[in-house]
Amino acid sequence: MLPLNATIVRIIEESPSVRTFFFDLQFETMEPGQFVMAWVRGVDEVPMGLSKKNSITVQKVGEATAKIFEFKEGDSFGLRGPFGRGFSLPSKSEKILIVAGGVGAAPLAPYADAARNAGSKVHTVLGARSAGDLIFEDRFEEAGEVYVSTDDGSKGTKGFVTDVLSSLNLLVYDRIAVCGPEVMMASVFRLLEDRKVLEKAEFSLHRYFKCGIGVCGACCIDRSGLRVCKDGPVFSGVQLLDSELGKYARDASGRRVKI
């Protein structure tokens, strides 16, 4: 469980607040949706979703990610992983719906790649605040048809991913994979529940991690007690019934924080 040293070999600016960092390691056993613990020396260790076997996609939101944004090619940080349960892999005969919001597109892009390689039929609903905030649109387009929504209407449907989902026949899909801001995921959850297709869906949760391997219990979710780092971060929709999804999370001290 000691961190491996990862040297940055390439940096891509995906949007004003999101960058992808490629490193000189390859996590060959990675499952789409799994994460690594990124150790920013002298600052913190934080979970990051893998956007490829050799990259993490980072949104600048706190002290650790702000430090990562200062990195240049040739700089290094520590990585542990990959950890957790990823998305269930599709088969050739299945029709897949991906629902991605903001930086939540990062762990779903490898899932789209895997579905495309399996020969599945893939549709993606991709949402962001504006056209400039959309990430990995090209990767999703390579997998299949993409429906775009933006809060400001600068591209695609003006509104939220749920506005697009409301116009789709969700019964035709065999699997539905969801990741994004939790308020968005909670809205998608309610829509899928109302449409009687929740059992087809999987959601990737983000919680505060300390150990990342299921030992400390800091990321347990109410009411099930499931550990997001070990039993997730991907959970089935049925597992999240009557859970804290969309209501609250916890900070480093374990106190509830309203979402």
Annotated binding-site residue numbers for [2Fe-2S] cluster: 211, 216, 219, 229
Amino acid, res. 50? L
Instruction: Give the CA count within 13 Å in the CB-facing half-sphere of 110.
Output: 24
Residue 10 tokens, joined: 């390439």
CB atoms within 10 A of CB 217: 13
Which tokens sit at 179? Answer: 């990741």
Distance, in Å, from the CA atom of 119 to the CA atom of 245, rounded to the nearest integer, reads 32
Q: How far apart are CA 122 and CA 231, in angstroms?
A: 26
| Backbone region of residue 213 per phi and psi (left: phi > 0; alpha: psi in -120 to 50; beta: other values) | alpha
| Residue numbering of the annotated binding site | 211, 216, 219, 229
Peptide bond preceding 3 in cis form (omega within 30 of 0): no
Q: Are strands 201-204 and 234-236 parallel, antiparallel or unpaired?
A: antiparallel
Beta strands in 17-173 (DSSP E): 18-23, 35-40, 44-52, 55-59, 76-83, 95-101, 121-128, 144-150, 157-158
CA-derived radius of gyration, the chain: 17
CA atoms within 13 A on the CB side of 137: 19
